[in-house]
Structure 1
Amino acid sequence: MRPGFRLGVQWLSEADDVELSSYDARVTMPLYPIFGPPPPMVSLGFEFTELNAPAVFDLPGDLYETSIGLSWMRRRNDRWSFRWMLGVANATDGDNHSSDAWQFRGGGFALYQPNERWTWTFGAIALGRNDIPVVPAIGFIYQPNPCLRFDASFPRPRASLLLADDGTRQQWGYIGAGMEGGTWGYRQDDGVNDQLTYRDWRFVLGWESTPRREAGMPFALGRTISAEVGYAFSRRFEFERGRSDLDIQDTVLIRIGTRF
C-alpha cells in the first residue's frame, strides 16, 4: 500500500542523420482495497522524446506523451490470477491537439501457474498504436531452476541467467528481443495535422539487479536497476495522410532504468 516509481532513459545513435532520445517517468499509486488486497492501482506517466532529423524529413523535433491508467489484479486460487488494465494517453508534438493525439489503451489476461516452474499467460493488450493496435498476451515463463529463466511473452521475450545472489538481492544477465515504438499526433510544416508512428525491432543484452523474486514471476517488488545495450533494425516512420513511409538504417541503443 505505497506508491511505486519508475524512471527510464533511452538513446538510439544517429543513423541516416536521425537520432532519438527518450525520457520517461511513471508513478503508480494503490487505491482502497476492494474485496481484499491487492488493491486497484492508478498510474500517471509522462514521456519526452527528442527527435533530431534533417529538415527535409519534416519530422517533429519534440514529442510528448501523458498517460493515466487503472489496473487491477485478482488471484482466483493457487493457480489462476487475472489482470485488467484500462487507460488513456495524449501523445503529441505540442502543436496537434486534435483527436489524432488521443489513444485508448487496455487489456486483460489470465495467468495460470500449475507449479513453481511454469506460468502461462492468455489474453490481449491494446497498445493505442496505428501500426499494431492490439498484441496477444499469450506466452509463458519457464524457470527450470533458480538460476535460469525463460520469458516467452510478446512483445519482449528474454532469457535470463542468475549471475550472483547475496541472499537479499540478485544480479541477472539476459538476452532479449522485441518491438518498440509509438504513435503521436503531429503537425506537418504545411499545417496539416497528421499522425506519426515509429517502429523498430531489436536484440538486446542486459543486466538487472532485483530483490529476490518468486520462481516463475516476471518481476519482484522493491528497488530494481537495469541497463541494456542493443541493436535496432527494420526501423520505420509511418504517416497517415499523404506521405510515403520513411525507412532508416539500423543503429545501436542504450537503455537505463530503475523502479522503486
Structure 2
Amino acid sequence: MFFQSPQAVFRAIALCTLILSGITGSVYAQKGASNLEDSGSAKGRSLRHRTIFMPRDQDPDIKQVSQSPQVPNVLDAESREALGIPPQLLDDEQDWAEPEDECIDCETFVPLISHKSATGSVTWLPGSGDELGIFTLALSETVEFPRFEGFTATPRFGVHYLDGPIRTDLPARVYDTSVAFRWFNKVNEKWSYELEVAPGVYSDFKNVTSDSLRITGKGLAYYVHSRSKQFVMGVVYLDREDIMLLPAAGMIMWFSEGSRLELIFPKPKFTYRVEKDESKERWLYVAGEFGGGSWGIRRGATGFDDIATYSDLRLMGGVETKHTNGMISQFEIGYVFNRKLEYKSDIGNYDISPTGMVRYQLTF
C-alpha cells in the first residue's frame, strides 16, 4: 500500500513541502518585486512585477502551466504570456506596457541570459496491486536570452515512482530529462508563431540506448481574427511509441478580461477569474489532458531491453492563484481513464482501471 513503505513517507513529505511552500510563498516575495501600479484609469490596469534579475512587464493574462509527462503543452506559460489579451480588447489609447523606469542618456546593460521562471510539481495517481499507481516529482527552470527576443531554454527533470503492477515487470522508477528550446515571434498584429524542440532521455537509467532518446516539440501559428477571438493551428510532436504526432488546432475566446476558453485539441481549457485584489488574482478552471509517456527500460524478469509506454486521458478541475510578486500556485484534482500500458515487445500489455489524480504546482 502507498503509506506502508519508506518511499510512501518520502512522497507524502514532498507533497506537503510543496503545498506549504505555496501557502507561505507570498511571505518570501523577492525584494526586487514591484508593487501593483495604480494608473487612476476607470478601466484599471494589469498586474505587473519586476524580477530580481531584470525589469520586465507582466502581461495581464494568467500564466497557466499544466504538464503531462512527455506531452508538450499546446499553450504553455510562455505562449500565454507572449500572446496576452488580444489587442482588440484594449483601448487604442491605453498603454499597458509603459516603462517603469526611464533614464535619459543612460546606457542600458542587456544581460546575455536571465532567469524567467522555475517550476516544481508533484502529481499522484493512486494505485496498488495490478492497478498501476504513479507518483511524479518534476522540476524545470526557464531562462531567457534578452539579446535574442522570444528565445528561451528550459531544462527539465522528472522522476516517476511506480506502484505495481504485480502482473508485469516494470521498474520501480523511470526518469524524464530534457532541454526545451523555444522561439516565439510576432510577425504583425494579426499573426505570430512558435517553434519548440526538446531533445531528452527517458529511461530507467539501466537501458540508456537509442530506445531512451526522444525528441519532442511543436510548431504553432496564431491568428487574431476578431475583437475577442484567436485561432491556433499546428502540430505537437510526441515521439512516442504509441503516437508520434498530434494535430493542434482550435480557438481562444475571451468573453471578458476575466473569462477565457481555449477550445484547442488536444488540451482544451476554460478559466474564470473569481477574485482580484492588490496582491493576487484567483482563477478556477476545468481542463482535459492527454497524458503518458514512453521510457526505455530493462525487464527485471528476463534482463532484456524494452520500451514501456503508458497513456491515459484526464479530466481535471483546479484553482490557480497568481501573486503580484510573480509566483503562481496551482492545485487540481481529476479523473484519469482510458489507461493503457504497452511494451514494444508486446509482452505484458494490459488495460488499467481508472483512477483519480491530485497535482500541486508552484511557479516562481
Using the alignment, how far apart are the partners of 2:321 and 2:226 within structure 1? 25
On the 8 A contact 1:110/1:121 being kept in 2, the answer is yes
Which residue is 1:24 aligned to?
138
On the 8 A contact 1:154/1:178 being kept in 2, the answer is no
> Offset of 1:107 from its aligned partner?
2.2
Using the alignment, how far apart are the partners of 1:236 and 1:21 within structure 2? 17
On the 8 A contact 1:126/1:134 being kept in 2, the answer is yes
Which residue is 1:216 aligned to?
none
Kindly provide the amino acid, as one letter, of the partner of residue 203 in structure 1.
Answer: L
Q: 1:227 aligns with which of 308, 318, 331?
A: 331
- In structure 1, runs of 5+ residues without a counterpart are 213-220
Using the alignment, how far apart are the partners of 1:169 and 1:141 within structure 2? 24
Secondary structure, counterpart of 1:56 in structure 2: coil
Using the alignment, how far apart are the partners of 2:343 and 2:165 within structure 1? 17
Using the alignment, how far apart are the partners of 2:124 and 2:353 within structure 1? 15
Using the alignment, how far apart are the partners of 1:84 and 1:109 within structure 2? 7
Which residue is 1:9 aligned to?
122
Using the alignment, how far apart are the partners of 1:233 and 1:244 within structure 2? 19
Secondary structure, counterpart of 1:137 in structure 2: strand
Q: 1:175 aligns with which of 273, 280, 286?
A: 286
Using the alignment, how far apart are the partners of 1:160 and 1:138 within structure 2? 19
Change (3 A) 1:17 1:87: closer
Q: 2:161 aligns with which of 33, 50, 67?
A: 50
Using the alignment, how far apart are the partners of 1:134 and 1:172 within structure 2? 31
Change (3 A) 1:54 1:136: closer
Using the alignment, how far apart are the partners of 2:165 and 2:291 within structure 1? 22
Q: 1:97 aligns with which of 208, 212, 235?
A: 208
- Comparing 139-148 with 77-86, greater Cα deviation is found at 139-148
Which residue is 2:4 aligned to?
none
Report the structure number with the largest CA radius of gyration: 2
Correspondence 1:245 to 2:359:
no
Change (3 A) 1:43 1:136: same
Give the percent of matched residue pairs that are identical in Structure 1 and Structure 2: 27
Using the alignment, how far apart are the partners of 1:74 and 1:54 within structure 2? 45
Which residue is 2:316 aligned to?
204
Using the alignment, how far apart are the partners of 1:27 and 1:80 within structure 2? 28
Which residue is 2:276 aligned to?
165
Higher strand share: 1
TM superposition score normalised by structure 2: 0.65
Kindly provide the amino acid, as one letter, of the partner of residue 76 in structure 1.
Answer: V
Q: 2:250 aligns with which of 129, 136, 139?
A: 139
Q: 1:33 aligns with which of 129, 138, 147?
A: 147
Using the alignment, how far apart are the partners of 1:90 and 1:238 within structure 2? 19
Using the alignment, how far apart are the partners of 2:252 and 2:327 within structure 1? 22
Deviations 1:195-243 (A, max 9, x none): 011111111111111258xxxxxxxx93211110011011111110141
Which residue is 1:255 aligned to?
359
- Comparing 68-77 with 144-153, greater Cα deviation is found at 144-153
Which residue is 1:217 aligned to?
none
Higher helix share: 2
Which residue is 2:299 aligned to?
188
Following TM superposition, the consecutive aligned residue runs of length 4 or more in structure 1 with deviations greater than 3 angstroms are none
> Offset of 1:168 from its aligned partner?
5.0
Secondary structure, counterpart of 2:201 in structure 1: strand
Secondary structure, counterpart of 2:208 in structure 1: coil
Equivalent residues, number: 249
Secondary structure, counterpart of 1:114 in structure 2: strand
- In structure 2, runs of 5+ residues without a counterpart are 1-113
Note the aligned Cα RMSD (angstroms). 1.8
> Offset of 1:42 from its aligned partner?
1.1
TM superposition score normalised by structure 1: 0.90
